[in-house]
Amino acid sequence: MNFFLEVLLGGLLAGVMYSLVAIGFVLIYKASGVFNFAQGSLVLFGALTFVSLVERHVNPWIAFGLTLAALVLIAIAIERAVLRPLVNRPPIVLFMATLGLSFILEGAAQLFWGAQVHGLDLGIDDKPIELGGVMISQFDIFAAAVAAVLVIGLSLLTNRTRLGLSLRAVADDPLAALAVGIRLPRIWAIAWALAGFVSLIAGLLWGARLGVQFSLSLVVLKALPVLIIGGFSSIGGAIVGGLLIGASEKLAAVYVGPLIGDGIENWFPYLLAMLFLLVRPSGLFGEPAVERV
């Protein structure tokens, strides 16, 4: 029973890490209706820039600030060069544009900082500690705490500030938001910058675990099923989806894996997401689309 609990808790906490990536998606999808495949590349770009600056003996806090500034600049550039010219185009076109964007970001990150693997030490050991008879990784707890702070911060921002009000207005109805004088391009840039911030946090946590390297951009493939289960437009959904995927993935790898072979965690989340969709086609918390002819 203890072993089961350990696997379950480990899975849940790993799921939090997936949620962190998925939250970036949700921010952008809500504000600009773009399914942003480049989120993984933003994670890579953020982590790689931070690590490379720290390795060049920049104070970590300054490095964090510089990386954040770079991500904000990128957000503004994306709004100018990609989103603005593609306004009112079908969502599939915007999605493919973000595919191109992910190529640019990955190429640029490795062009500037090289392709070797960097270690990243956040000062928290990835050692298990005992909590009520169950072994849990310290690092996982730290990651979960960071995620909690982040979610609380984001919900305060969206629910208690004027900026949050505009963000929600744009998410609700872009045309109406325009009509009451909200500047859509600015909101888009802010949403992308926020997503950049979230992806930097996710990049640091993932980077500390896996090492900062190209494969970091592949966490986007882990975050996709999370996003699908939670629905594209709900931060809470992203968290719940992450927990669901994390837990079931670990449980499946431990209990089902030996029966049919290793490595099922690559496709198992997708299967799960698909089954979910067959029951709820817009995810757990997504809004069902209303169509008019």
Interacting residues with other proteins (CB under 8 A): 35, 81-82, 85-86, 89, 91-93, 95-97, 99-108, 110-111, 115, 221, 224-225, 228, 232, 260-264, 266-267, 270-271, 273-274, 277-278, 281-283, 289, 291-293
- If the CB atoms of residues 3 and 95 are measured against other proteins, the closer one turns out to be 95
Tokens found for residue 127: 């050692």
DSSP 135: E
CA separation for the pair 45, 136 (Å, rounded): 30
Give least dist CB 183 to other proteins, A. Answer: 21
**52 to each of 45, 101, 164, 182, how far by Cα in Å?**
10, 22, 33, 38
- If the CB atoms of residues 38 and 151 are measured against other proteins, the closer one turns out to be 38
DSSP 218: G
184 CB-near residues (< 8 Å, 6+ apart): 170, 174, 177, 178
Give least dist CB 2 to other proteins, A. Answer: 30
- If the CB atoms of residues 35 and 192 are measured against other proteins, the closer one turns out to be 35
Give least dist CB 285 to other proteins, A. Answer: 13
Report helix, strand and coil shares of the chain as percent, to nearest 5: 75, 5, 20
Give least dist CB 26 to other proteins, A. Answer: 13
Give least dist CB 93 to other proteins, A. Answer: 6
Give least dist CB 108 to other proteins, A. Answer: 6
CA separation for the pair 235, 233 (Å, rounded): 7
- If the CB atoms of residues 146 and 250 are measured against other proteins, the closer one turns out to be 250
- If the CB atoms of residues 60 and 91 are measured against other proteins, the closer one turns out to be 91
40 CB-near residues (< 8 Å, 6+ apart): 21, 102, 216, 217, 218, 219, 220, 221, 223
CA separation for the pair 123, 208 (Å, rounded): 9
- If the CB atoms of residues 71 and 134 are measured against other proteins, the closer one turns out to be 71
